[in-house]
């Protein structure tokens, strides 16, 4: 537990330092917490993000930490491509997974507040490959932005898993997200993947605008099934 607490303190300290950095560009939101948003990174812009997840118990009681840096590049024509690298510590040998991804915004109408996107992500283990498999996710979603200073945005869609190993839960489901501004620089955010699988979580939390180009998200992920299947979720992202 002492190690876990020091890890959390160090990560929070890093995030605070990042919040003090100076930026000038408009932030691009590629996800809510877990589900993809209908936004795409603008052409010739780069979005960088660092995710930290932790179940704050000892490893023997199911504790873990995950560190996930990600980078997304806007290619233009409403297309973005990116890659995530997930490092997980569970008390057993550490695991590493690479997650290349692509998203296309098929429709966007700011006047009506509607947007549609579709995309794909590959999940490929780099270490501990025995007992795991390489598989893909395909998804499509639609969002509605309601008018007004504190108008919410709702997102919904579906996902399917390709080549996912048998016995690892549902092969697809729905995804839902809700964003509610509370202040000029604070909003409530929650999202949910259905299914009893590695994606099946609901995550409520808050998003803080830290500059014109960056934001900090803090939430708590609760699994659709399983005792102690939950984790603190922090991430910081910046567009430049």
Q: pTM here?
A: 0.85
pLDDT, tens digit (0-9, with 9 covering 90-100), for 103-155: 999 999 999 999 999 999 999 999 876 667 899 999 999 999 999 999 999 99
Would you state the pLDDT for residue 181? 97
Looking at domain 2-239, its CATH architecture is Beta Barrel (2.40)
- Cα 141 to Cα 11: distance, rounded to the nearest angstrom: 32
Tell me what pLDDT residue 21 has. Answer: 36
State the Cα–Cα distance between residues 110 and 139, nearest whole angstrom.
Answer: 22
Q: Report the Cα 21 to chain-centroid distance in Å.
A: 22
* pLDDT tens sequence across 8-56: 444 444 333 333 333 333 344 689 999 999 999 999 999 999 999 999 8
Average pLDDT over residues 173-177: 98
Q: Which helix (H) or strand (E) holds 238?
A: strand 230-239
Where are the domains positioned within the chain?
2-239
**Sign of the C-alpha dihedral computed for residues 76, 85, 50 and 138 taken in this order:** positive
- pLDDT tens digits for range 46-69: 999 999 999 988 888 888 999 999
The predicted pLDDT at position 29 comes to 63
Backbone angles phi, psi at 59, to 5 degrees: -60, -35
């Amino acid at each position: 537990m002492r190690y876990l607490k020091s890890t959390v303190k160090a990560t929070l300290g890093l995030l605070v330092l990042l919040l003090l950095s100076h930026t000038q560009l408009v932030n691009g939101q590629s996800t809510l917490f877990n589900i993809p948003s209908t936004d795409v990174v603008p052409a010739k812009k780069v979005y960088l993000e660092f995710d930290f997840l932790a179940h704050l118990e000892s490893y023997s009681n199911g504790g873990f930490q995950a560190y996930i840096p990600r980078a997304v590049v806007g290619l233009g024509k409403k297309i973005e491509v990116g890659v995530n690298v997930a490092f997980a510590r569970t008390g057993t040998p550490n695991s590493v997974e690479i997650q290349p991804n692509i998203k296309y915004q098929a429709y966007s109408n700011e006047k009506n507040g509607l947007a549609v996107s579709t995309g794909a992500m590959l999940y490929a283990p780099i270490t501990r490959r025995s007992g795991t498999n390489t598989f893909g996710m395909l998804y499509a979603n639609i969002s509605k932005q309601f008018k007004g200073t504190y108008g919410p945005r709702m997102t919904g869609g579906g996902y399917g898993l390709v080549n996912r190993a048998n016995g690892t839960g549902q092969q697809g489901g729905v995804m839902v997200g809700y964003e509610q501004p509370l202040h000029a620089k604070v909003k409530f955010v929650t999202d949910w993947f259905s299914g009893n699988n590695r994606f099946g979580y609901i995550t409520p939390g808050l998003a803080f605008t830290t500059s014109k180009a960056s934001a900090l998200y803090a939430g708590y992920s609760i699994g659709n099934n399983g005792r102690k299947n939950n984790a603190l979720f922090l991430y910081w992202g910046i567009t430049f």
